[in-house]
């Protein structure tokens, strides 16, 4: 029975590890040589961080699937066993499967593929669910922003209405002041006219009084004169 080719992959991995170890040893030797003094001067070599970085694992995701591990996850397959030299005379050594084995295997594979497709559909649905949740969050955030803008505009509208009321009250007060000014001006005109009339009446009364005085003085003079004549 031929050994499976999986061992060749392991051999390749072992060679890679050996090369890494050899490369590390070579680099260490080079570093040691660079640190040796040259004459009176000492060559400076920066420290190299050889610590292995910590593995970063995403929660919920498999961490065992790497390029090196894919080989071990593949089905065992020796393609050389299926080599055909003469198509008209196939060798008896070709791998064979009976009809019962084929039917049984295909039934299992088809069922497994259906299960994988259903599982993939579940992951696709879950992905769409998360995408929809993200869109829901964005829509909700946009709604909050819109509501904030509405409230801001409502406040501006209230400020506008308040300013309208203030202006209207100022307009009423201004109208009252203007009416009071007109009333006071009219009253002042009438008062002035009344004072002018009273002044005229006073002048007329004075003139009448002077006339009466003159008349009485004339009568007095005539009376005195008549008394003088009688005395003579």
Distance CA 57, CA 64 (A): 10
- 3-state class of 38 per DSSP? strand
The answer to whether 110 and 104 are in contact (CB under 8 A) is no
The pLDDT of residue 187 is above 90? yes
pLDDT, average across residues 132-158? 97
**What's the predicted TM-score (pTM) here?**
0.45
Question: What is the band of 15 on the pLDDT scale with cuts at 50, 70, 90?
Answer: low
Give the pLDDT of residue 54: 62
The answer to whether 9 and 72 are in contact (CB under 8 A) is yes
The answer to whether 81 and 93 are in contact (CB under 8 A) is yes
Distance CA 138, CA 203 (A): 96
Give the pLDDT of residue 47: 53
- Nearest 5°: phi and psi at 42? -110, 120
Give the pLDDT of residue 162: 97
Q: Which of 6-20, 77-91, 108-122, 217-231 has the lowest mean pLDDT?
A: 6-20
Question: What is the band of 9 on the pLDDT scale with cuts at 50, 70, 90?
Answer: very low
Distance CA 129, CA 122 (A): 10
Question: What is the band of 228 on the pLDDT scale with cuts at 50, 70, 90?
Answer: confident
Query: What residues pair up with 38 in beta bridges, in sequence order?
Result: 41
Give the distance between the most distant pair of CA atoms in the chain: 205
Give the pLDDT of residue 213: 94
- Nearest 5°: phi and psi at 98? -75, 165
């Amino acid at each position: 029975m031929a050994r499976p080719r999986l061992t060749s992959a392991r051999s390749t991995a072992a060679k890679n590890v050996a090369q890494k170890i050899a490369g590390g040893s070579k680099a260490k030797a080079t570093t040691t040589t660079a640190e040796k003094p040259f004459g009176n001067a000492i060559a400076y070599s920066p420290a190299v961080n050889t610590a292995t970085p910590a593995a970063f694992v995403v929660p919920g995701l498999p961490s065992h699937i790497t390029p090196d591990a894919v080989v071990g996850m593949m089905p065992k397959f020796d393609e050389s066993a299926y080599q055909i030299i003469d198509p008209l005379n196939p060798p008896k050594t070709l791998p064979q499967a009976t009809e019962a084995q084929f039917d049984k295997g295909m039934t299992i594979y088809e069922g497994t593929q259906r299960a994988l497709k259903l599982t993939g559909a579940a992951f696709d649905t879950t992905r769409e669910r998360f995408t929809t949740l993200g869109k829901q969050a964005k829509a909700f955030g946009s709604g909050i922003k819109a509501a904030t803008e509405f409230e801001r505009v409502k406040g501006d509208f209230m400020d506008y209405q308040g300013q309208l009321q203030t202006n209207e009250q100022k307009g009423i007060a201004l109208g009252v002041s203007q009416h009071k000014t007109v009333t006071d001006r009219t009253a002042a005109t009438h008062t002035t006219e009344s004072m002018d009339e009273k002044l005229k009446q006073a002048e007329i009364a004075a003139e009448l009084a002077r006339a009466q005085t003159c008349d009485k003085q004339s009568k007095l003079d005539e009376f005195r004169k008549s008394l003088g004549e009688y005395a003579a």
